[in-house]
Amino acid sequence: MVQSAILGFPRIGPNRELKKITESYWKGKASVEELFNVGREIRSANWKLQKDSGVDIIPSNDFSFYDQVLDLSLLFNVIPERYAKYNLAPIDTLFAMGRGLQRKATETEKAVDVTALEMVKWFDSNYHYVRPTFSHSTEFKLNGQKPVDEFLEAKELGIQTRPVLLGPVSYLFLGKADKDSLDLEPLSLLEKLLPVYVEILSKLKAAGATEVQLDEPILVLDLPQQAQEAIRKAYQFFGSKAASLPQITLATYFGTVVPNLDSLKNLPVAALHFDFVRAPAQFDDVLSIVGENQKLSVGVVDGRNIWKNDFAKSSALVNKAIEKLGADRVVVSSSSSLLHTPVDLENETKLNPEIKDWFSFATQKVKEVVIIAKNVSGEDVSAELKANAQSVSSRASSKITNDEAVQKRVASIDEKMAKRAVPFEERLAEQSKRFNLPLFPTTTIGSFPQTKDIRINRNKFAKGTITAEEYEKFINSEIEAVIRFQEEIGLDVLVHGEPERNDMVQYFGEQINGYTFTTNGWVQSYGSRYVRPPIIVGDLSRPKPMSVKESVYAQSITTKPVKGMLTGPVTCLRWSFPRDDVDQKTQALQLALALRDEVNDLESAGIRIIQVDEPAIREGLPLRAGAERSAYLKWAAEAFRVATSGVANDTQIHSHFCYSDLDPNHIKALDADVVSIEFSKKDDPNYIAEFKNYPNHIGLGLFDIHSPRVPSKDEFISKIQTILKSYPAEKFWVNPDCGLKTRDWEETKLSLTHMVEAAKYFREQY
């Protein structure tokens, strides 16, 4: 009998239970017991669901109150002194590292003021992990035993689980040196870290775990020799302790391991897992290195997208593995953790039934894995196979997927459409004349706090309890308040604040043909922030203007320039679930054409500064260097330029990126007049130097919008001073890291006021 396995299940709860309780806990409205109880309920429901669906290998320790990588930092005592010194309860240390903490002193507790650790994207997904941050004083030791506790919790429910942990090499490799230890190479800590892994793994074994899953997703990256050797070293070390450890499944996902195949050969692990959804071409190569006593875990059910599995295709692939290895050495599995998919399709009652039939969310995927395992084991699942084949073919031939007019327009895109009329220097001269901005111009990235009031009114409008007119009046009053506030504190380029937007992609997706939406398809992005990615089901087009009304209203009530605000084609694509039947370039160009019309409409309506956000452009970068990556960079930049090049020379195009290391050359290819990038958590002075030769203008994000912490004016001044050492004043925009939608008004007011004061201070110096 071929076994079925799941690598990880979403932990947010079917109705975002985790978000709700975590945020109440942060506000002091829920107790730590209530928080822990909800965690326990979610875990137990997830385990039971998988058990009842017939999964053989069910994960534990895939739950987290914030991020599974941060959990490991807490577990291994990788807690920088600036957090440790407060002696907070472990859960509060976890949250402080994840999101920063600023707390006034009370009679019993001292004041706390600490920024968050750096947060970065998890490979090419829209999940973010908190970066392990090591220093010379890092002392690895077990600080708690979360994996054991959760294993025992499942065991008490009568469910045997396979605990999952990020493996030691990925854990180190994905981390960084703290600012006091910049010469430290995280991988050099491997020898010190391994015994602590052995300790926790032995405890798992003692608790009854027979198997563990160690994830080494870095094996799909271009790895330096040192990291490849580290893999060998680590797993040979575990091999030498095999008697006291559970059996190890070494899991990789999100790409091919072929270039690193040597490091996987003859490793003393019980099983290897590969992602054959993202990298089916690696099949023969990886099969050739599966050792005589090793199992192969075949990842065939997509952990990153929502399309129904094609049972015939998946079963054929698994059968190929069975032919070579035998049924008892093959495991059918999800390609990666299901963390990146929504919890349950059954919760979707409003989807068009024709479209709904093409989808599968985490709960359904669990069943898919089981059905494929049964099928290849010779059990009768003919009814399921038949229904599946019907869904697959109905999608391929559906009218919803094809729009000939769109396909023709994409085919007609030429070079001229993807290029501004004159080079940047000439545009700059015309723009300076038009806008006459001061040195160190100040602006924000777009959104202002999304208050409860905004959400309530949006819901009322969605439910029809207020009319479109009433809603518009409400939105306009929000816009007006945001405009007045910006005028009051002296910002130079204003925004309308985006109160009408539920989400920067969904908002546009809802107005673009070819998209569909879920009501409850939430996926964790970071901490308690979840997104509900729209789904691209067919060819994309814009029937009418999407954002003009709000921007025009904002401009009509102020004499300062208002910046129009759009989401770029690559971000619309990356933050949606894309089609898997058409290539990504085509989908991006379809979106680019829709946005080009929008940009041009904004310009005609008098909006002469337009920001087209592309925060997702970096994460879309294929994980390995080579042809695929170069092609991506080319079409991603082309899509951006198709969207933004239809404007006059004196219309200023802005763009914005966040949370990722960006190469100035990639940014250059977009040819935006001004870009704003994440900078507040970058401590490396070389990072600024890299942008010195970037020709256009840049706003380096000066404060972290993920944290409620308010930087002082002096903090802004010293930050700007540092940047000015290697970056010219005349190209310098002053702005936060990202949009302010998740912040409260109080913090926002203070932070922005201090930021503007600092800009004014420098204007006087120059």
The residue type found at 573 is L
Place of tokens 């669906």: 53
Spatial separation of the C-alpha atoms in residues 142 and 133, rounded to whole Å: 17
Q: For ligand GLN, which is the closer residue by CB, 8 or 446? A: 446
Shortest gap between Cβ of 656 and ligand GLN (angstroms)? 5
Residues numbered 734 to 753 that lie near ligand GLN (CB under 6 A) are 738-739, 741
Shortest gap between Cβ of 446 and Zn ion (angstroms)? 8
Is 740 a residue that touches Zn ion (CB under 5 A)? no
Whether 706 sits among the annotated catalytic residues: the reply is yes
The residue type found at 130 is V
Q: For Zn ion, which is the closer residue by CB, 428 or 658? A: 658
Place of tokens 């809802």: 510
Q: For ligand GLN, which is the closer residue by CB, 43 or 496? A: 496
Is 449 a residue that touches ligand GLN (CB under 6 A)? no
Residue 440: CB atoms within 10 Å: 23
Contacts of 231 (CB under 8 A, 6+ apart): 169, 216, 219, 260, 263, 264, 267
Cβ-in-10-Å burial (0-12, 13-18, 19+) of 344 comes to: middle
Give the nearest residue (CB) to ligand GLN: 739
Q: For ligand GLN, which is the closer residue by CB, 162 or 741? A: 741
Spatial separation of the C-alpha atoms in residues 232 and 172, rounded to whole Å: 14
Q: For ligand GLN, which is the closer residue by CB, 100 or 446? A: 446
Q: For ligand GLN, which is the closer residue by CB, 128 or 340? A: 128
Residues numbered 605 to 634 that lie near Zn ion (CB under 5 A) are 615
Number of residues that bind Zn ion (CB under 5 A): 3
Interface residue with Zn ion among 466, 738, 740, 758 (CB under 5 A) is 738
Number of residues that bind ligand GLN (CB under 6 A): 13
Interface residue with ligand GLN among 504, 531, 667, 734 (CB under 6 A) is 504
Structure tokens at 448: 């202002």
Spatial separation of the C-alpha atoms in residues 731 and 386, rounded to whole Å: 62
Sign, Cα dihedral of 273, 279, 282, 284: positive
Interface residue with Zn ion among 57, 172, 223, 658 (CB under 5 A) is 658
Is 201 a residue that touches Zn ion (CB under 5 A)? no
Spatial separation of the C-alpha atoms in residues 490 and 480, rounded to whole Å: 15
Pick from 140, 132, 167, 133: nearest CA to 61: 167
Pick from 678, 677, 676, 754: nearest CA to 718: 754
Interface residue with ligand GLN among 272, 658, 752, 758 (CB under 6 A) is 658
Shortest gap between Cβ of 610 and Zn ion (angstroms)? 16
Residues numbered 80 to 99 that lie near ligand GLN (CB under 6 A) are none
Per-residue b or e along 92-124, where b marks 16 or more CB atoms closer than 10 Å to that residue's CB: bbbbbbbbbbebeeeeeeeebebbbbbbbbbbb
Shortest gap between Cβ of 715 and ligand GLN (angstroms)? 22
Q: For ligand GLN, which is the closer residue by CB, 302 or 478? A: 478
Shortest gap between Cβ of 741 and ligand GLN (angstroms)? 5
Interface residue with ligand GLN among 16, 278, 340, 656 (CB under 6 A) is 656
Residue 103, strand partner residues: 112
Around 193, how many Cα atoms within 13 Å sit in the side-chain half-sphere?
26
**Which residue stretch of 130-138, 148-156, 440-448, 748-756 sits at the interface with ligand GLN (rule: CB under 6 A)?**
440-448
Shortest gap between Cβ of 120 and ligand GLN (angstroms)? 14
Shortest gap between Cβ of 703 and Zn ion (angstroms)? 13
End-to-end alpha carbon distance in the chain: 75
| Alpha carbon separation from 741 to 19, 552, 567 (Å, rounded) | 16, 21, 15
Is 494 a residue that touches Zn ion (CB under 5 A)? no
Q: Which helix (H) or strand (E) holds 330?
A: strand 330-334
The residue type found at 239 is G
- Among the listed residues 128, 496, 697, 706, the single catalytic one is 706
Residues numbered 479 to 498 that lie near ligand GLN (CB under 6 A) are 498
Secondary structure (3-state) at 13: coil
Q: For Zn ion, which is the closer residue by CB, 279 or 738? A: 738
Shortest gap between Cβ of 634 and ligand GLN (angstroms)? 23
Spatial separation of the C-alpha atoms in residues 90 and 95, rounded to whole Å: 9
Residues numbered 535 to 574 that lie near Zn ion (CB under 5 A) are none
- Active-site positions read 706
Query: Site residues (CB under 5 A) for Zn ion?
Result: 615, 658, 738
Query: Site residues (CB under 6 A) for ligand GLN?
Result: 445-447, 498, 504, 565, 613, 615, 656, 658, 738-739, 741
